[in-house]
């Protein structure tokens, strides 16, 4: 059995080798040729699991070490009998911590769009801080009362179909109903927020997820109050949760023994107050290095 793993998914090297052949590849190296004779993939958002990658391959199982799964062509995978899974909730606390770091000190109310794993934690955090909390869950309809908040933060998957698609959920019409001073935060998925509408609205915003990343819009970046390179969920615990979830799903699918990810090395990145402002400075100075900065980010 052969497994291809994105080399930036941590804590897995050496774990599966007693049972199968493993190749650790950079995202750009995970190509149709590279996976042709693979049985399983463990990937991240940089790899699109679709016909172009998987046609004529022997892949039977895909795990993505992420909450989001819009990089998986679910229709294609289902039609071809390929089992797949993501890691919902694995980094929820890390994203909540990101939102807390992004909150302005004078905020009195927060509107939370999407109250799943992350949104629920954000709600609890905001209530502890004494903020008025307004919530809206897109599957149940988008409620306009969230537009009355001082801060509006999005925590939905990115979907373009179904009864309640979230693509450009935050568009010009939505923004027109918000307070002129409302701070918009997107630490969900690029595309949930219409960046051009955001740019034209004149409202302050904080972005971790971008349309078209890693090739981000420099005009949007320049206007952002704070900005980061899609690392809101990049904490040690979040990564460990995701890696173990992927490993459990893979071993279960192939009938392998239960395995445990590698130990944590104890190294931590910058999490002192003001860490998001320091990231913003780095990204604004070198927007062309979005992917390099993301790859080299030390987990909080």
Residue 7 sits in a domain whose CATH number is 3.40.50.720
Same domain, 216 and 248: no
Same domain, 41 and 162: no
Asked, for residue 262, whether it belongs to a domain, the answer is no
Q: Exposed (0-12), middle (13-18) or buried (19+): which is 122, by Cβ within 10 Å?
A: buried
Please state, in angstroms and rounded to a whole number, the distance separating the CA atoms of residues 96 and 257.
Answer: 34
HSE value, Cβ hemisphere, 13 Å, CA-based, for 196:
2
Asked, for residue 78, whether it belongs to a domain, the answer is yes
Which pLDDT score is estimated for 197?
Answer: 98
Whole-structure pTM value: 0.89
Same domain, 72 and 122: no
Regions of the chain where pLDDT drops below 70: 139-143
Grouping H, G, I as helix, E, B as strand and the rest as coil, residue 171 is coil
Same domain, 26 and 84: yes
Same domain, 84 and 100: no
Q: What is the pLDDT of residues 116-156, one digit of tens each?
A: 999 999 999 999 999 999 999 876 666 678 999 999 999 99
Same domain, 176 and 69: no
Which pLDDT score is estimated for 262?
Answer: 97
Phi-psi region of 89 (alpha: psi -120 to 50; beta: other; left: phi over 0): left
Same domain, 213 and 287: yes
Chain centre to alpha carbon of residue 5: 18
Same domain, 7 and 125: no
Please state, in angstroms and rounded to a whole number, the distance separating the CA atoms of residues 152 and 198.
Answer: 13
Please give the residue range of the domain that contains residue 72. Answer: 2-89+236-254
Which pLDDT score is estimated for 140?
Answer: 67
Which pLDDT score is estimated for 161?
Answer: 84
Asked, for residue 243, whether it belongs to a domain, the answer is yes
Asked, for residue 155, whether it belongs to a domain, the answer is yes
Asked, for residue 59, whether it belongs to a domain, the answer is yes
In angstroms, the Cα distances linking 115 to 42, 52, 124, 151, 161 are 27, 34, 11, 15, 20
Please state, in angstroms and rounded to a whole number, the distance separating the CA atoms of residues 188 and 80.
Answer: 29
- Do residues 195 and 221 touch, judged by C-beta distance below 8 A? no
For residue 44 the two structure tokens come to 């991240």
Q: How many domains does the chain have?
A: 2
Asked, for residue 29, whether it belongs to a domain, the answer is yes
Which pLDDT score is estimated for 142?
Answer: 66
Same domain, 131 and 215: yes
Same domain, 38 and 57: yes
Same domain, 113 and 214: yes
**Residues belonging to the active site:** 189, 213, 230
Which pLDDT score is estimated for 287?
Answer: 97
Exposed e or buried b for every residue in 232-266, given b needs 16+ CB within 10 A?
Answer: bbbbbebbbbbbbbbbbbbbeebeeeeeebeeeee
Same domain, 160 and 281: yes
Which pLDDT score is estimated for 270?
Answer: 96
């Amino acid at each position: 059995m052969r497994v291809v793993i994105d080399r930036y998914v941590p804590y897995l090297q050496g774990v599966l080798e007693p049972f199968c052949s493993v190749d650790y590849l950079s995202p750009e190296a995970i190509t149709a040729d590279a996976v042709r004779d693979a049985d399983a993939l463990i990937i991240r958002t940089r790899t699109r699991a679709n016909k172009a990658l998987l046609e004529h391959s022997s892949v039977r199982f895909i795990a993505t070490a992420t909450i989001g799964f819009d990089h998986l062509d679910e229709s294609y995978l289902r039609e071809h009998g390929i089992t797949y899974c993501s890691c919902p909730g694995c980094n929820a606390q890390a994203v909540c911590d990101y939102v807390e770091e992004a909150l302005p000190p004078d905020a009195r109310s927060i509107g939370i769009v999407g109250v799943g794993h992350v949104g629920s934690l954000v709600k609890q955090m905001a209530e502890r801080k004494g903020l008025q909390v307004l919530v809206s869950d897109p599957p149940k309809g988008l409620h306009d009362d969230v537009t009355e908040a001082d801060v509006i933060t999005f925590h939905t998957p990115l979907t373009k179909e179904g009864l309640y698609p979230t693509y450009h959920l935050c568009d010009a019409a939505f923004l027109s109903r918000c307070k002129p001073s409302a701070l918009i935060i997107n630490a969900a998925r690029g595309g949930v927020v219409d960046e051009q509408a955001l740019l034209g609205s004149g409202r302050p915003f904080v972005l971790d997820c971008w349309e078209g990343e890693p090739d981000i819009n420099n005009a949007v970046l320049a206007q952002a109050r704070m900005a980061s390179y899609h690392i809101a969920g990049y904490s040690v615990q979040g990564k460990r949760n995701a890696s173990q979830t992927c490993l459990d799903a893979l071993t279960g699918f192939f009938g392998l023994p239960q395995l445990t990810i590698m130990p944590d090395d104890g190294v931590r990145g910058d999490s002192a107050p003001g860490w998001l402002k320091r990231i913003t400075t780095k990204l604004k100075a070198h927007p062309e290095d979005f992917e390099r900065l993301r790859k080299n980010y030390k987990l909080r």
